[in-house]
Amino acid sequence: MRVDFDIPTNRLETDSIRWDAYDSKKVLPLWVADMDFQSPPCVIQALSNRIQHGIFGYTHSPKQFNQIIARYLLNQYDWSVDPDWIVILPSVVSALYTAVQQLTNVNESVLIPNPVYHHLRLACTEAGRKYHDLPLRLVDQRWVLPNKELPYIATQDTKLALLCNPQNPGSTVFNKDELMGFGDFCIKNNLWICSDEIHAGLVLDGKKHIPIASLSKEVSKRTVTLMSLNKTFNFPGVGLAWAVAENPDLRNSMQTGLHQTIAEPSLFAYTATLAAITDGEPWRQELLQYLQTNRDLVTSRINHIDNLSVGKIEGSYLAWIDCTNLNHQNPHKLFLDAGVATSPGSQFGQPNFIRLNFGTQKSKLAKALDIIQNACLR
């Protein structure tokens, strides 16, 4: 299979959140986390076959769906999961909110990494739960968990730790030691863990993603793992997610509201996910190669611009760029006014940073990097 990810795509007039927010004649939009590539041909074909049928009635999940997911987890991550541990959900975001609401009481608090994908924090504030930041540290150019500081950060009332692995933003793919340190701390302090692993399929450089729940029975019994193929195969608009929880109490919690206030996934979500699991692997491998070359371009260009820097990007397509030395009040606005829309670091808890989405054609990326470089010269 040869996929040409350089082929230009046009997302105007498709109601794209990323492309409709700004005037596309003036601004290159590299913010919200979806990619400018078509999904794999197997996904497009499966959806188109389903559409041709023309009847879109109430639909249950495909036969053996949980078994198929369990086999996928074993193949991809050496993670042995009983199909009964899997709960099918419409999205990772709704699952994050459910986890915080169900796994803590009002008087209990939550640990969350900082910086982090904003919905981890919002899940706490919207539920009226206190949270404590786990400030990530840049060590050897990787944003790592503050494992040694954990005992001083958790309090008597801490009940739940949220993890984002691979990390967004910061793109760290946590290694076994880092995860073991974190897992041990959670065991010692009797904390539940909810691990958002939506970026697991986008680990670069042939590294392996390690689901934290795969470390040991003890960790598995206190963990809810959230996964989805939305990011990897670029279909978040028709997506579906799943939670894996060995502990039946945690599993029941994740089912709260399902098919009541939380709708089930659409039939297209099942179709797209099943096709990606069954036939998407060759496309994914090519995508990873392309993203690596984009990652290399971003890393070398940004680190050659005075006053900007970016650490090692180990996964996904999101560069977390430190603009502290620019001494600019609002780096996001600086680059937006120059013609590139990034995500403001404040969204993730760090106003001196921006997040650049490099899941796009190399020609667009190179143009965006030129604009960023010129904006820094002014």
Ligand X SMILES: Cc1ncc(COP(=O)(O)O)c(C=O)c1O
Residues that bind ligand X (CB under 6 A): 33, 91-93, 117, 164, 168, 196, 198, 228, 230, 236, 239, 241
- Is residue 331 a contact partner of residue 352, using CB atoms and an 8 Å limit? yes
Q: ∠92-214-75 over CA atoms, to 5°?
A: 80
Q: Judged by CB, which is closer to ligand X: 117, or 185?
A: 117
Closest approach of ligand X to the CB of residue 89, in Å = 8
Q: Between 92-103 and 118-126, two packed helices, what is the crossing angle to 10 degrees? A: 40
The distance of closest approach from Cβ of residue 260 to ligand X in the complex, given in angstroms and rounded to an integer, is 19
| Least distance (Å) between residue 123 CB and ligand X | 11
Residue with Cβ nearer ligand X (211 or 339): 211
d(CA 302, CA 305): 5
Rounded least distance, CB 127 to ligand X, Å: 17
Cα separation, 169 vs 118, whole angstroms: 10
Closer to ligand X by Cβ: residue 185 or 235: 235
DSSP category for residue 61 = P
Q: Which is nearer to ligand X, 121 or 301 (CB)?
A: 121
Q: Least distance (Å) from ligand X to the CB of residue 91?
A: 3
- CA-nearest of 377, 345, 372, 343 to 359 is 343
Q: Which is nearer to ligand X, 34 or 108 (CB)?
A: 34
Question: Between the CA atoms of 190, 90, 93 and 159, what dihedral angle is there, to the nearest 10 degrees?
Answer: -10
| Residue 269 and residue 297 in contact, taking contact as beta carbons nearer than 8 Å | no
Kindly state the helix (H) or strand (E) to which residue 266 belongs, with its residue range: none
| Residue with Cβ nearer ligand X (119 or 129) | 119
Which residue matches tokens 């803590």?
A: 104
CB of 196 to ligand X, least distance (A): 5
